[in-house]
Amino acid sequence: VPQHVWRINLDTPEETHQNLSFGAADRWWEQTDLTKLILASNKLQCLSEDVKLLPALTVLDVHDNQLTSLPSALGQLENLQKLDVSHNKLKTIPEELMQLSHLRSLLLHHNELSHLPDGFGQLVNLEELDLSNNHLTDIPTSFALLINLVRLNLACNQLKNLPADISAMKSLRQLDCNKNYLETVPSKLATMASLEQLYLRKNKLRSLPEFPSCKLLKELHAGENQIEILNAENLKHLNSLSVLELRDNKIKSVPDEIALLQKLERLDLANNDISRLPYTLGNLPQLKFLALEGNPLRTIRRDLLQKGTQELLKYLRSKMQDGVTSPNEEPPVTAMTLPSESRINMHAITSLKLLEYSEKQAAVIPDEMFNAVRSNPVATVNFSKNQLNEIPPRIVELKDSVCDVNLGFNKISSISLELCMLHKLTHLDIRNNFLTSLPEEMEALTRLQIINLSFNRFKVFPNVLYHIVALETILLSNNQVGSIDPLQLKKMDKLGTLDLQNNDLLQVPPELGNCETLRTLLLEGNPFRTPRAAILAKGTAAVLEYLRSRIPT
């Protein structure tokens, strides 16, 4: 560092020795002391003790150099608030650094530190401390005194344990301990009431701590460990949790209490040993992402896993019949039995608002099923996997309450007018039937958001769908649809997902690119030549952009 940088506060500028008239900008005698010095990304191997000649410094940034040590004079910069010495070759930190009582941000990541001074706790105003990517094997107990620390990054070190005193950091919101050798986490960690994000990935943990006080914890990342058991106690206090990441562990089962995590948005359980899932997962209202691949799940077919989170949750909800929350329990036997030996499950009707008569290979739904409903408001109807030739006419009796109807895997060839009267319907699953068209009367289903028409016999895109403006998802894969009307689709401003895979589209109209609400557009398996497979593989945004570029001007 040139010497005049250190002396910038002391030396009068050259011009003063000449008899010049000074403009307002050059009134050197009015200049204030230097407060920020940035020397980042150079080739400095040492810093001069002359740094003490700059006592007004609040920011000193020397990251990305080749420093092997720091001058003890740093301890005299009593106004320093931010010190960045990351990406150097530091092996130690001078004790004098502990005198910087106003320091708020200390960045030491990517160095070669193997231990820290014991006096670390003197930096009482520290709010951000990054020690990641060093060679630390332990943490000074005085860390407990850093009661203003908000973010602490200890990732990529060689820590075998964390001191229990760390729990005294009452302001800590983010703690990152990824990539260490932690076998346990101190139980006291669970008392850290401010903690919002906890990263414990790539350690050697066999279990998770319980979190009785972590009411604000929003993210818990503990993938790539050796966790075998997930207890109700680990979960039940985490009212604010939105991300739970436990992939690549050895978890065998998921407790029903997971349904208590009402704010959960992302749940990653991929690559564990889970053989069964609690169906109560389907009740998590905010869940947008659920990863389960790489588990020996007995109750869920692999093709269902590939259909994405919403289909999976819908399946789990559909299984919550009989009050069966997990697949291992037998449904309770009720007194009333049907000729077909099927139990009418009054609990499902009254508590779960579910009318279920599926996988019975039945040609008709017995009247007893509808009779049992009486005045109970039924929200969900599941008559899938039977031999129905028509939609049961008595379904109209449920019109004031039913919002989810599953008639998939039957032999239905037309939609009845009774179905068109279910004015509260939001989800309709009628996949794997013999449908060739939809009646215009379906336009009355003004609340319909999701319709699944996959594996039917449509040759044209059903015109009535263009007029159901609430539709968010149209699944029409594996039909024989030959064309679509992009101008009509553009008017559907809620439409986010359109699946037209494996149809007979000979061309994709460029104007489809203007349907900018589409988040997922699936076109694979059609005979058109453009867009080519390479463009389709880039995803929806790229396909829409390509189509827009082809619109004739």
Fold entry, domain 182-192+200-318: 3.80.10
Report pTM: 0.58
Decide if 163 contacts 184 (C-beta within 8 A): no
Q: Give kind and range of the element (H or E) at residue 219.
A: strand 219-221
Decide if 121 contacts 145 (C-beta within 8 A): yes
Residue 400 CB contacts under 8 Å (≥ 6 apart), including other chains:
377, 424
Sign of the C-alpha dihedral, residues 513, 518, 524, 526?
A: negative
Greatest distance between any 2 Cα atoms in the chain:
115
Please provide residue 544's backbone torsions phi and psi, each rounded to the nearest 5 degrees. Answer: -60, -40
335, burial (CB in 10 Å: exposed 0-12, middle 13-18, buried 19+): exposed
Decide if 60 contacts 77 (C-beta within 8 A): yes
What homologous superfamily is domain 1-12+31-177 in, according to CATH? Answer: Ribonuclease Inhibitor (3.80.10.10)
Residues of the chain short of pLDDT 50, as ranges, are 322-342
The two domains 1-12+31-177 and 182-192+200-318 share their CATH topology (first three levels equal): yes
| Amino acid in the structure at residue 471 | L
Count of other CB atoms within 10 angstroms of residue 235: 22
pLDDT digits (tens, 9 = 90+) for 103-148: 999 999 999 999 999 999 999 999 999 999 999 999 998 999 999 9
What is the C-alpha to C-alpha distance for residues 476 and 502, in angstroms, rounded to an integer? 9
For the stretch 426-445, what's the b/e string if a residue is b when 16 or more beta carbons lie within 10 angstroms of its beta carbon? Answer: bbbbbbbbebebbeeebbbb
pLDDT digits (tens, 9 = 90+) for 183-195: 998 888 878 889 9
- Give the pLDDT confidence score for residue 323 in this predicted structure: 47
**Residue 296, CA distances (Å) to 229, 276, 299, 320 in order:** 16, 8, 9, 21
329, burial (CB in 10 Å: exposed 0-12, middle 13-18, buried 19+): exposed
Instruction: Report which DSSP code applies to 243.
Output: E
138, burial (CB in 10 Å: exposed 0-12, middle 13-18, buried 19+): middle
Under CATH, to which class is 347-549 assigned? alpha beta
Cα angle for residues 148, 152, 154 (degrees, 5° grid): 150
Domain range list for the chain: 1-12+31-177, 182-192+200-318, 347-549
In this structure, the strands spanning 174-176 and 59-61 are: unpaired
Task: Print the SS3 string covering 47-107.
Answer: CCHHHHHCCCCCEEECCCCCCCCCCHHHHHCCCCCEEECCCCCCCCCCHHHHHCCCCCEEE
- Give the pLDDT confidence score for residue 326 in this predicted structure: 42
Give the length of the chain.
Answer: 553
